[in-house]
Every structure is written in C-alpha cells, then in structure tokens.
Amino acid sequence: MLRLYDTRTRRPETMVPENGRAVRVYTCGPTVYRFAHVGNLRSYLLPDLISRVLERHHVRAVVCQNITDVGHLVDDDAIDPTGEDKILRQARAEGRSALEIARFYEDAFRRDTAALNMRAPEHTPRASESIDLMIELIAKLIEMGHAYAVDDGSVFFDARSFPSYGEISGNRLDALKPGHRVEGVDPRKRFHADWALWKGTDRDMTWEAPWGRGFPGWHIECSAMSLRFLGEHIDVHTGGKDLRFPHHEDERAQSNSAVGHDVVKHWVHGEHLLFDGRKMAKSTGNVVLLSDVVDAGLDPLAVRLAFLEHRYRQQMNLTWETLHAADRTLRRWRQRVAEWAESPSRPIAADHARRVQDAFDDDLDTPTALRVLRELERDESVAPGSRFETFLHLDHVLGLDLSADIGRPPAVPVLPPGAAELLEARAKAREAKDWSASDRLRDELAVLGVKVTDTPQGQTWS
C-alpha cells in the first residue's frame, strides 16, 4: 500500500483508509487573484499522484480542493482589518469587479491543471460561497470557549486553549515570540499568538455575522470547507511546505477543537520549486507560467515529467534546459510507444512494472520509477509488445499521455533555429579534416537536441 512521509509524525505512514473503501484527501487550493506559476502548480501534482497510486490498489480517493476567492490579505500575518484583500487589489488594478477577477483566474487555474493531466477534484468549494459554514464554525468555537469576540466585531482563536499546537511545524506556543509590527502586539488579543477567525470591517466583500460585519480569516476557510465536504475524519491533508506554519497549525487547532479529536490523520507537504536557482517572484523576473512553456513550443506535459524527475518533498531547481530535456524525452517515449504498438501484444514486463509500483508506493519515489522506465526502454530482451503494454499500464499513474502518437503519421523532423547552420559548418569541418571543430559542433548540436550520426555517405541527424 502507499506510504507517505507524515510531517506531524516525522516518519513514513501507510495510507490505510478510515472506512476501508475510500481515502479522503484535502488540499489547500489557489487564491485566485493571478495566474498560477509552475511553482504553484507543482503543489497540486501531489494529490493527483496520491489519487492515481491509490487507484492502482483499488482504493478510491475523494479529493476536496478549496478556492480562496475572499479574505486572503496581502499580509495575513498582520491580521489588519484595514489591510487589502489580494483580489480587491487586483480588481482595482485591472478595472474589473472582484467577482470577475476571481472567476477569470479560477478558470485559468482549471485550464492549467487540466493541461497537466491533473484530475478534477470531487469537491471544489469557493470560500465566498461558504461564508455561512465559517460563521457557524466560529460561533461553535466561541460557545466552546476556544474563541472570543472583541469590540470591533473581530473574533480571535484562543491559541492557549489548544495545548498540542505546533505538532506539525514544531513551533510551540511557549516558544513563539510576538510579531515585529511597528505598533507592537495587537491590544485586542488575549495572547500574542492568537489569530483572527473573523475580521470586523465595513469595506468591500464583507458579510453580516452575529458579532459584527466583516470577512473570514484565511485559516478558518479550510477548516469549515474540509469539515463540510469530507467530514470529521480526513485521511490525508496536502499542501506546500510553506503552509505548515501558521496555516496548517491554525487549521488543525480550529478543526480539532470544534469536533474534539484529530480530524486529519496524515499531513503531507511538498517542497519548494526554484527556477534558475531562485524562488519565483516578480521582483526577480523569473516567474514562469504554463502558457510561457507552451509559447516556447514545449508540450505542457513536459512540465509534469520534469516534476516527476524529483520527489515531491525534494526542493527542485527547474530551468529551461530541464524543460527542453523533459520535452525531448516525452516526445521520444511517445514515438517509441507508437512504434511498439505495431508489434504483437505481449504481457506486461512484470519485473519492471513491480519495481515501478514499489517506487510509487515508497513515498512517491517518482525518480526511481522513471529510471526503471528508461531501463525498460533500452532493454531489447523485452519484446516490443510487452514494452508497449508496460508503458501504457504505468502511464495511468504518470499521466503523460504516452499513447498520444499511436495512429498518427510519423512527424516530419524540424531542425531548431540555428541547427542548420551548425550542420553545414560541421560538414565543412569534416571535409577539411578539422576533427576538433567537428566534435565541438556536434556538442553544440546536442545542446539543441539534434543528434548527429556519421555514415560513409556523410552525416545524418535526428
């Protein structure tokens, strides 16, 4: 069965469904005020892989992924009711309504995840359409003594009412220091580590609540929606590493306090993605969207393959060179699968398939799975029909559309820009017996993805 590294227990745990039939998975969804970059998208591959691997074990995954379309401040750590909502800020910048902004970027996110072959979750609740659930949960927490309202209509969670706070991130309450805001600790709080469940204000995108008009805190959204759509027993909660604290710590405290037991059985987090060695940010100019990859002439599933080359909880440095290499591998595998499809069908290569499945089960060790596939691709002792069946069998988890070229006429190879000139220069170097120049030009062509072969009739390329 699938084993995943549990952030809270600090060890791999077997994913055994609570009810024996389905694994309930909650994943923190996007805040829809801008296009998701490829670093954001990597986080959503994790629940997709979990679902696909569980399916191989005849276990259904029920996934809930929220849509944050309200209440997420530019600086959530400040808990400032006058602070600006990211969606409102973007709406003003683009001259559109907040609803138009949210739906536009939500649709864009769905197109991107679909292009990466990420299956649509069973539940995708929007925060703006779940306000009643949040108000109901906040009222319950107040009634149980875990939260308190203040004069301006805000409501705070009493962090000291939840003794096991910090089990996910290691940030214990007795070690947390007040934030370094200019005005010091918020005087409305009983304890500096308390956080806002509701933020009292009369700005745009607010709702009436028993304690005053305002909008929900970011953390309460996930508690309310996960409890509503998956119930009080959730098998796996995923998210990026950056969400461990404070978001997941706060979410765990809220949900557990409301129902009286641990709601989430396993917490699983993915690592950050860098691009060209740096964190993606507008300030550094290295934000890459999936549309940028497509505009560069690459298949969007090359991004998925590049992600699979690294384990989900390993920091990954993505580069354009990496993406081009993944695109070449993807196209080669599709071509090989189409060629093998012409041979008589044979049973799957059982040993290779077992090793790949073992890698998937071992905390989603996708790099090892891909190494086994490359080994199988080169293994001429395995019949073509068997390689065909094995690649397609494993593609149910890989999600790379490896059968895409079956039935298509062979593609006419097209040289990348600059390659024709290099080939001509290399032919002249060989005529002049300038072997060092010939070798150098061969290396330059290889960087462009062009393989040169010398024959008695001259050089050929592919």
Please tell me the pTM assigned to this model.
0.85
Mean pLDDT over 342-358 rounds to 96
Binding-site residue positions for ATP: 282
Is residue 28 scored above 80 in pLDDT?
yes
29 lies in the same domain as 149: yes
371 lies in the same domain as 423: no
Mean pLDDT over 69-73 rounds to 73
- Residue 404 domain-assigned (yes or no): no
Percentage of the chain beyond pLDDT 70 is 95
- Residue 263 domain-assigned (yes or no): yes
Give the confidence band of 139 by pLDDT, cuts at 50, 70, 90: very high
- Residue 278 domain-assigned (yes or no): no
55 lies in the same domain as 199: yes
135 lies in the same domain as 214: yes
302 lies in the same domain as 230: no
260 lies in the same domain as 314: no
What pLDDT shows up at residue 204?
A: 80
75 lies in the same domain as 210: yes
245-260 per-position pLDDT tens digit: 999 999 999 999 999 9
- Residue 410 domain-assigned (yes or no): no
Is residue 290 scored above 80 in pLDDT?
yes
- Residue 116 domain-assigned (yes or no): yes
What pLDDT shows up at residue 416?
A: 86
What pLDDT shows up at residue 79?
A: 39
Is residue 449 scored above 80 in pLDDT?
yes
Decide which of 398, 427, 452 is a domain's last residue.
398
SS (H, E, C) the chain: CCEEEECCCCEEEECCCCCCCEEEEEECCCECCCCCEHHHHHHHHHHHHHHHHHHHCCCEEEEEECEECCCCECCHHHCCCCCCEHHHHHHHHHCCCHHHHHHHHHHHHHHHHHHCCCCCCCECCEHHHCHHHHHHHHHHHHHCCCEEECCCCCEEECHHHCCCCCCCCCCCHHHCCCCCCCCCCCCCCCCCCCEEEEEECCCCCCECCCCCCEEECHHHHHHHHHHHHHCCCEEEEEEEHHHHHHHHHHHHHHHHHHHCCCCEEEEEEECCEEECCEECCHHHCCCCEHHHHHHCCCCCHHHHHHHHCCCCCCCEEECHHHHHHHHHHHHHHHHHHHHHCCCCCCCCCHHHHHHHHHHHHECCCHHHHHHHHHHHHHCCCCCHHHHHHHHHHHHHHHCCCCCCCCCCCCCCCCCCCCHHHHHHHHHHHHHCCCHHHHHHHHHHHHHCCCCEEEECCEEEEC
Query: In terms of DSSP bridges, do strands 273-275 and 316-318 run parallel, antiparallel, or are they unpaired?
Result: parallel
Looking at residue 84, which CATH number applies to its domain? Answer: 3.40.50.620
- Residue 335 domain-assigned (yes or no): yes
216 lies in the same domain as 340: no
- Residue 161 domain-assigned (yes or no): yes
Give the confidence band of 209 by pLDDT, cuts at 50, 70, 90: very high
Binding-site residue positions: 28, 222, 247, 251, 282
Counted domains in the chain: 3
Is residue 181 scored above 80 in pLDDT?
no
Decide which of 270, 285, 311 is a domain's last residue.
270
- Residue 282 domain-assigned (yes or no): no
Q: Which two tokens stand for residue 458?
A: 């001259």
Binding-site residue positions for Zn(2+): 28, 222, 247, 251
Is residue 81 scored above 70 in pLDDT?
no
219 lies in the same domain as 347: no
127 lies in the same domain as 255: yes
Domain of residue 260, residue span: 3-270
436 lies in the same domain as 391: no
On average, the pLDDT of the chain sits at 92
Report the amino acid identity of residue 72: H
368 lies in the same domain as 429: no
384-422 per-position pLDDT tens digit: 999 999 999 999 999 999 999 888 776 567 888 889 899
